[in-house]
């Protein structure tokens, strides 16, 4: 890992460099966008034919439209291929996620009443949601849960999942079991930008949805960006990242293990900020010892070498200041009094306090969704929750006397804007109205 000493460099400039490294869209070529736009337009115009074409091209799988949807028997058979303890763990994770999401879900509030005016607020769920679950080296059942359960808690009626199949047309059993347990209604064997386009516009086989959530590669993310407006999206997610604030009391083996668990994402960005030179030396030793024992040790080491940074500061206040400037996806505070440090934190997607709260808990089992803002976007956005699947409608009721009371203000503002029909819409109601 690269070591930066705050007093030896322009830390502001280094933070800018780090932000560029964290940025999702930095350094993208116009070819990326052209490729995605072509895929989207093909799916929009050709429907299933385009899905077949791009499945062969990118996923190296040949499926006909009647093979897109996962059959019930495939899901039932998937239970035979996994262990009962795995199913129980999935069920416990679902229970925790549901409990947390129900706890934070927005409730309809009572009306605001005053002098003939009634202002109501109505929250209603999105009707249909598309959940994108990436393929690749891992099975990602946790991604299924963290996107689906909040939608179910919100009351979404129809949840459709798309996910890239293997070359033989199969989906990992863990992913299918997670989908069944979480309440996914339909699963389609489609990946990439073409899956996002299919969910946004619909094809002969794949239904159109109102909102699309879930992470993916750069092409999936760019596709979500391009279709926004035709359907809603959750966020534009970049590489996963962790920032650890640690003092001289932190356990170096714990710190090293958390840096490695983030680098294991390949790419995953791992940052340690501390004022303790002694801790840095111990963490470096621990990293060397622990990394050799990992199954994916070579890729993890490359990732840590490329995206790992240690920042040495003069004091804990400077640690907090830098953390706020970076606004990380995951923030771990491993200090003697973590809640004291927490009081200074302004920006972070999810915050993990104390020595016994690794990010892995948030990834899998704790309850809050692990779909979090990356690339510094925690400065203005939040992690996915049940509330992201709710729409708010205002309900306004005025009596005749209340309208008369409001008339002068409406007229002043509408006439200033040159919109006299607005004024007339009030006047016409007041003709003959009793005072």
3-state secondary structure of 65: helix
Report the C-alpha gap between 370 and 71 in whole angstroms. Answer: 28
Q: Which of 330, 370, 415, 417 is catalytic?
A: 330
The residue whose two tokens read 């009030």 is: 426
Catalytic residue at 329?
yes
Q: Which of 181, 226, 241, 329 is catalytic?
A: 329
The helix or strand, by DSSP H or E, that contains position 387, with its residue range, turns out to be none
Going by DSSP bridges, is the β-strand pair 350-353/330-334 parallel, antiparallel, or unpaired?
Answer: parallel
The residue whose two tokens read 């009572």 is: 110
Query: Do 64 and 202 touch, CB atoms closer than 8 A?
Result: no
Burial of 112 (0-12, 13-18, 19+ CB in 10 A): exposed
Q: Burial code of 42-72, b = ≥16 C-beta within 10 A, e = fewer? A: bbbeebbebbbebbeeebebebeeebbbbee
DSSP 233-281: ES----SEEEEEEE-TTS-HHHHHHHHHHHHTTSSEEEEEEES-HHHHH
Query: Do 229 and 201 touch, CB atoms closer than 8 A?
Result: no
Report the C-alpha gap between 105 and 101 in whole angstroms. Answer: 6
Q: Give the N- to C-terminal CA distance of the chain in Å, as an integer.
A: 76
R_g of the chain, CA atoms, integer Å: 26
Catalytic annotation, residues: 329-330
């Amino acid at each position: 890992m690269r070591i930066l000493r705050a007093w030896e460099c322009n830390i502001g400039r280094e933070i800018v460099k780090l932000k560029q490294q964290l940025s999702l869209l930095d350094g993208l070529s116009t070819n990326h966008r052209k490729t995605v736009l072509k895929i989207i337009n093909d799916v929009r115009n050709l429907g299933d034919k385009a899905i077949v074409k791009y499945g062969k091209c990118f996923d190296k799988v040949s499926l006909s439209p009647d093979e897109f949807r996962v059959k019930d028997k495939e899901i039932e058979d998937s239970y035979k291929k996994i262990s009962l303890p795995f199913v129980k763990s999935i069920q416990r994770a679902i229970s925790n996620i549901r409990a947390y999401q129900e706890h934070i879900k927005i409730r309809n509030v009572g009306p605001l009443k005053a002098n003939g005016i009634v202002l109501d607020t109505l929250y209603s769920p999105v009707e249909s949601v598309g959940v994108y679950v990436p393929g690749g080296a891992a099975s990602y059942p946790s991604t299924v849960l963290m996107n689906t359960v909040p939608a179910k808690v919100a009351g979404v009626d129809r949840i459709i999942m798309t996910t890239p199949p293997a070359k033989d047309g199969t989906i990992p059993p863990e992913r299918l079991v997670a989908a069944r347990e979480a309440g996914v209604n339909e699963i389609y064997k489609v990946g990439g930008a073409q899956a996002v386009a299919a969910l946004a516009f619909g094809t002969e086989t794949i239904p159109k949805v109102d909102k699309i959530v879930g992470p993916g590669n750069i092409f999936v993310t760019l596709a979500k960006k391009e279709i926004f407006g035709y359907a809603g999206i959750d966020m534009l997610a970049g590489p996963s990242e962790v920032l650890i604030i640690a003092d001289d009391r932190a356990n170096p083996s714990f710190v090293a293990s958390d840096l490695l668990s983030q680098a294991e994402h390949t790419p995953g960005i791992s940052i340690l900020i501390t004022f303790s030179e002694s801790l840095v030396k111990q963490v470096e030793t621990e990293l060397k010892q622990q990394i050799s024992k990992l199954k994916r040790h070579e890729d993890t080491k490359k990732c840590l070498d490329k995206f790992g940074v240690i920042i040495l500061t003069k004091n804990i206040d400077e640690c907090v200041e830098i953390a706020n400037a970076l606004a990380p996806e995951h923030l771990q505070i491993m200090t003697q009094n973590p809640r004291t440090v927490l009081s200074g934190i302004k920006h972070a997607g999810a915050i993990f306090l104390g020595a016994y709260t690794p990010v892995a808990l948030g990834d899998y089992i704790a309850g809050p969704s692990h779909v979090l803002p990356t690339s510094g976007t925690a400065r203005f956005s939040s992690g996915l929750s049940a509330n992201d699947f709710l729409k708010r409608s205002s309900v306004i009721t005025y009596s005749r006397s209340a309208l008369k009371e409001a008339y002068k203000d409406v007229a002043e503002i509408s006439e200033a804007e040159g919109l006299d029909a607005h004024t007339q819409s009030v006047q016409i109601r007041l003709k003959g109205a009793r005072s």
